[in-house]
Amino acid sequence: MTKDNFDEKRDYEELYEHFNFTADQGQQLLRVDKFLINLMRQTSRTRIQKAAEAGAIRVNGKSVKSNYRVRPGDNVALVLAYPPRVKELLPENLNLDILYSDSDIAVVNKRAGMVVHPSYGHYSGTLVNGLLYEFQSLPEVGDIERPGLVHRIDKDTTGILVVARNEYALAFLANQFAEHSTDREYHAIVWGNLDREHGTIIGHVGRSLRDRKIMAVFPDGNHGKEAITHYKVIERFGFATFVSCRLETGRTHQIRVHFQSIGHSLFGDQTYGGDQIPNIQGYPKFKSFIENCLGICPRQALNARLLGFIHPKTLKNINFEISNPQDIQQVLERFRDYTKNN
């Protein structure tokens, strides 16, 4: 198995619930494979038995063999190593902030808290649901859950995304992202005072070997994929730094995990320690001040503020730029006032 295949395999080690049934109070004792075949008529008994052998059938949260006898009130779940597919994507009016659109592309400013595409646990309210309402149809990207998408940003990251509106634009844009020829700039607030005015963070990014739900940096390159982040200091506050980041690569959680790896987690980042208030001396009432700021921005302070790419039809280089969202701006203003008065 090659290293790339190994990395891809590890990405799917987390188990996802596909079916969940609760036996009613009148349920007679019945083998779990027979119980499931009665409810999943499109699936053969052989496949269900193989799922049990693989530990994929769980009763009340514990793996069972196919001869387990289901009792009244038992919760029976089938879990597999890949997310369940969404059978139908429904258009939803989500009042998207559309910066630009033509017959080939749409450029959207995604707000915080919005998931980009449907996935397990997020079947509605996603950016894709809103895009289908605005544009009716979008080209499929390998599966039904991600029509039109050529890149994405995290749920609690704000900022610019470009979406393809036809098959040609999809292929054209996807090639640019694959070759890392797009121009992407982010603004972020990180904890601590960075040593240099500008720098580059290099380190392979991949699934953590301890927690499959988060990412980690592997400096020796044994795991993950190459990731390069360039940063420049915009403003210093002593206890935190406001930075601009440009990406050469676009790995999952790249900016967040890169800065964590050098001891400067993003402000408010609950996944990578940015929601923990550091013990910094010399600032009066620091803890209560920061608690107030975290209440204003209870997420990673990260905004995809600039995106540049070549238009698939005109072949001209176009750029889109936005201001930082209100929560990040408010935190910066409070940081300025606090440092000025202390």
Residues 239 and 110 in one domain: no
Residues in contact with 179: Cβ distance below 8 Å, sequence separation at least 6, in sequence order: none
Residues 207 and 274 in one domain: yes
Positions annotated as catalytic residues are 154
* Within-domain flag for 139: yes
Residues 207 and 233 in one domain: yes
Residue scoring higher pLDDT (132 or 334) = 334
Q: Which of 80, 112, 133 is the last residue of a domain?
A: 80
CB 122 within 8 A of CB 115: yes
Q: Is the pLDDT of residue 236 over 80?
A: yes
d(CA 164, CA 173): 7
* Within-domain flag for 2: no
Q: Is the pLDDT of residue 185 over 70?
A: yes
Q: Which pLDDT does position 144 carry in this prediction?
A: 57
Residues 121 and 208 in one domain: no
Q: Which of 179, 203, 234 is the last residue of a domain?
A: 179
Any idea what DSSP says for residue 265?
P
- pLDDT tens for 288-316 read 999 999 999 999 999 999 999 999 999 99
Q: Is the pLDDT of residue 178 over 90?
A: no
Q: Which of 80, 97, 130 is the last residue of a domain?
A: 80
CATH number at residue 32: 3.10.290.10
Closest CA to 86 of 113, 114, 126: 126
CATH number at residue 109: 3.30.2350.10
* Within-domain flag for 1: no
Q: Is the pLDDT of residue 85 over 80?
A: no
Q: Which of 145-149, 166-170, 196-200, 322-326 has the lowest mean pLDDT?
A: 145-149
Q: Which pLDDT does position 42 carry in this prediction?
A: 62
Band the pLDDT of 41: cuts 50, 70, 90. low
Q: Which pLDDT does position 10 carry in this prediction?
A: 34
What is the pTM for the complete model shown?
0.76
Q: Which pLDDT does position 289 carry in this prediction?
A: 96
Residues 295 and 196 in one domain: yes
For 122-185, the DSSP string reads B-SSSHHHHHHHHHS----BSBTTSTTBS----TT-EEEEEEESSHHHHHHHHHHHHTT-SEEE
Residues 65 and 104 in one domain: no
Q: Is the pLDDT of residue 276 over 90?
A: yes
Residues 163 and 212 in one domain: no
Mean pLDDT value across residues 127-156? 83
Cβ atoms within 10 Å of 145's Cβ, excluding its own: 20
Helix, strand or coil, per DSSP, at residue 332: helix
Pairing between β-strand 158-164 and β-strand 105-110 as defined by DSSP bridges: antiparallel
Residues 289 and 214 in one domain: yes
Residues 225 and 338 in one domain: yes
Residues 216 and 327 in one domain: yes
d(CA 236, CA 233): 7
Closest CA to 130 of 116, 119, 149, 145: 116
Q: What's the Rg (C-alpha) of the chain?
A: 24
Alpha carbons within 13 angstroms on the beta-carbon side of residue 168 total 7
Q: Which pLDDT does position 2 carry in this prediction?
A: 38
* Within-domain flag for 128: yes
Mean pLDDT value across residues 65-74? 90
d(CA 250, CA 262): 18
* Within-domain flag for 3: no
Q: Which of 204-218, 250-264, 265-279, 312-326 has the lowest mean pLDDT?
A: 204-218
What is the 3 state secondary structure string of 270-316?
Answer: CCCCCCCCCCCCCCCCHHHHHHHHHHHCCCCCEEEEEEEEECCCCCC
* Within-domain flag for 235: yes
Pairing between β-strand 228-236 and β-strand 158-164 as defined by DSSP bridges: unpaired
Q: Which pLDDT does position 122 carry in this prediction?
A: 66
Q: Which pLDDT does position 281 carry in this prediction?
A: 81
Counted domains in the chain:
3
* Within-domain flag for 297: yes
Band the pLDDT of 104: cuts 50, 70, 90. very high
Closest CA to 229 of 197, 207, 251, 206: 251
On the 0-12 / 13-18 / 19+ scale of CB atoms within 10 A, 178 is exposed
For the chain, what is the mean pLDDT?
A: 87
* Within-domain flag for 283: yes
Q: Which of 19-28, 268-277, 299-308 has the lowest mean pLDDT?
A: 19-28
d(CA 45, CA 32): 10
What is the helix (H) or strand (E) element at residue 232, kind and residue range?
A: strand 228-236
Band the pLDDT of 53: cuts 50, 70, 90. confident
Q: Residue holding tokens 């940003």?
A: 153
Residues 168 and 313 in one domain: no
* Structural domain containing residue 119: 85-179
Residues 141 and 193 in one domain: no
